[in-house]
Amino acid sequence: MMADITLSTVPARPRRLGGFARWLRTDRRGAISLFFLLALVAVAIAAPLLAPYSPTEQNIDAALAPMSAQHWLGADDLGRDTLSRLLYGARASLYASVLAVVIAIAIGVPVGLIAGYAGGWTDEIISRVIDSLLSFPAIVLAIAVTGALGIGLTNGMISVGIVFSPMLARLVRARTLVVRNDLYVDAARCFGLPTWQILWRHVLPNTIQPVIVQVTLLLAAALLAEASLSFLGLGIQPPEPSWGAMLARAYQNMEIAPEQMYPPGLIIMFTALAFNTLGESLRTALDPTMKRL
């Protein structure tokens, strides 16, 4: 009897991805996406070494210059080298994506755990607040929060993180509703463990799988949100480069030099695609019963 009770108190550990090398061999799309993102991070870190010019250096003589040996990707309307701004812009765009997702995790995961574990009126009130926030278009709500916090990259991504947090809260709440009735959670209550310890040691580890997948998808969404806010002038401020700000600048000269829209537009598209593909690969690896569509 004692052996049965002891075994029942051991929480079911989340399924692991298995051998990393085997995953890379069997999931080529996920491996390519991962290597692309790692290379992008390396390029962002090494931007001062790789960029041929200063990202803010103006040269009116080279304004809207086409691709050439001097400017591999051309220059914008102020003569700033597009390649240099693209490399430095990776820093701002990736920083913005990570910041927004970290804030979303910091808010959404605890709120979802509390709502799902407590139940009753606590769950009802939190769920209604979450539903109310999710009823607003994300970018509109982000613009409203940015207006309250002030214009700037950090404030803009704080607003995006706040907007994304209800999505994670709902996901964690749904998983917590299932986990809280498992035998090892009941056993932890019987042993008198405090609520915070039950949530931290037993509930959270068994709700983390879908959060990992959702985080990769939110990184892509945060990247697009940063580009949208910068495009509207609510994100990073001139002359600092970001992909969204570059796209906004190129849009102003689209009829004169349409090729200026391609570098920032394509890098935004490929990075978002890589995040989404990696998320799909993680979803399939964590739950092999789910097949790709």
Q: Of 60, 143, 35, 84, nearest to 263 (Cα)?
A: 84
Phi, psi (degrees; rounded to nearest 5) at 81:
-65, 125
Token pair of 28, please? 């080529």
Contact criterion met (CB below 8 Å) for 92 and 152 = no
Q: How far is CA 1 from CA 7, 8, 12, 187, in A?
A: 10, 11, 20, 14
* Contact present, 274 and 223 (Cβ < 8 Å): no
pLDDT value at position 98? 92
**pLDDT value at residue 8:** 43
**Which residues pair with residue 81 across a beta bridge?**
75
The pLDDT, as a whole number, for residue 3 is 42
Q: What is the pLDDT of residues 14-40, one digit of tens each?
A: 444 445 567 667 778 888 999 999 999
Closest CA to 88 of 63, 57, 54: 54
May I ask the CATH class of domain 44-63+70-286? mainly alpha
pLDDT digits (tens, 9 = 90+) for 128-144: 988 888 888 777 888 88
Strand runs (DSSP E) across the chain, as ranges?
none
Regions of the chain with pLDDT less than 50: 1-18, 289-293
Spatial distance between the Cα atoms of 179 and 51, rounded to a whole number of angstroms: 50
- Please tell me the predicted confidence (pLDDT) of residue 288: 52
Say if residues 275 and 220 touch (Cβ distance below 8 Å).
yes
In DSSP notation, 126-145 reads HHHHHHHHHTS-HHHHHHHH
What mean pLDDT is reported for the chain?
A: 82
What is the chain's length?
A: 293
Residue 208 CA to residue 34 CA, distance in Å, equals: 20
Q: Name the residue ranges covered by the structural domains of the chain.
A: 44-63+70-286
Closest CA to 32 of 270, 256, 226, 250: 270
The answer to whether the beta carbons of residues 192 and 1 sit under 8 Å apart is no
- DSSP 3-state assignment of 242? coil
